[in-house]
Structure 1
Amino acid sequence: MNETLVTVVGNVATTPVFRELASGPVSRFRLAVTSRYYDAVQKVWADGHTNFFTVWARRSLGTNVQASLTIGEPVVVQGRLKVRDEERGGQHWTSADIDATTVGHDLSRGTAAFRRVLKANPALTDPASAREAEPEPVG
């Protein structure tokens, strides 16, 4: 299958919106990506054009995005790019969406504290089940 896979570095521009759908949880947020260039005449770095992408995160990624991201945070997003041309109510518009496979904080611009999500596992919550799951000692 020919898909356009992208990795985009930018800032969270809107609060992630979380929805529980029949197909599972989904979060979406807008990502602002501003290019930077060196202005040799003024000898300073300057901001270029800002592109905005709508990032869609599904299933457990969507749940984790909702719990982890806030406006202004620097992130790295990887996923499938989908450019849509639509017409609604006589207005024509184009949007660039990213169906995310990975979202993470950009650690070149700050720090983060990772917390693993515990999945429902009887061996982890019931000590009796955990003892049954342990292998017998050898020797």
Structure 2
Amino acid sequence: MSETVVTLQGWLGSDVTVRQAGEAQVATFRLASQPRRWSRRTETWVDGETQWYSVSAWRSLGEHAAASLRRGDPVVLHGRLSTRIWVNNAGEEVTSVEVEALLLGHDLARGTSVFTRATRAEAPAPSGDAEPSAAPSEQPAQAVA
């Protein structure tokens, strides 16, 4: 079965919340995306209807999203798209559009960001005479010209 993978540009419509789901952490938030098009008739940009997506980000991606993103931030998101149909309290059938984030970050076309590389946990020291290697230190990423 094929998956539908999408790339979205939009704005965080809520702060990121993190919860425990079994043994993994999952972060969730809402993403608003508003398409724009050029109207030849009026020679102006016309805003389309805002589209809302529920987003989930698992494990370290979710932790990093919670530490980095705030409501109103412009983001670019790449992930798996799915729809869910359910019945609300009023007995009406509702369709939700959900995205499981695979890649996520600030939209640098709309501002700047500072990146801090995450550190990895040290592996247990092997038994024997070998000295354990140190984990990489947390440091800002270097720009490539």
- Measured against the shorter chain, the TM-score band is 0.7 to 0.9
Counterparts of 2:33 and 2:69, CA distance in 1: 16
Query: 1:115 — aligned with what?
Result: 116
Hey, what's the Cα distance between the residues in 2 that align with 1:12 and 1:2? Answer: 28
- Please show how residues 43-82 of structure 1 align to structure 2 within 5 Å: 43-82=43-82
Over the residues paired in the alignment, what is the CA RMSD in angstroms?
Answer: 1.7
Match of 2:105 in 1: 104
Percent of pairs with identical residues = 38
Long gaps (5+) in structure 2: 125-130, 135-145
- The 3 A distance-change label for structure 1 pair 88 and 48 is closer
* 2:25 matches 1:25: yes
CA deviation after TM superposition for structure 1 residue 130, in Å: 3.4
Report the TM-score, using the length of structure 2 for normalisation. 0.80
Alpha-carbon separation, structure 1, partners of 2:117 and 2:45: 38
TM-score of the superposed pair, with normalisation by structure 1: 0.84
Map Cα deviations across residues 26-82 of structure 1 (whole Å, 9 max, x no partner): 101100000011123332222111100001000101101100111111111111101
Task: Tell me the amino acid that sits aligned with residue 49 of structure 1.
Answer: E
> Is 1:8 paired with 2:11?
no
In structure 1, the gaps of 5 or more residues are: 132-139
Shift of residue 122 of structure 1? 5.6
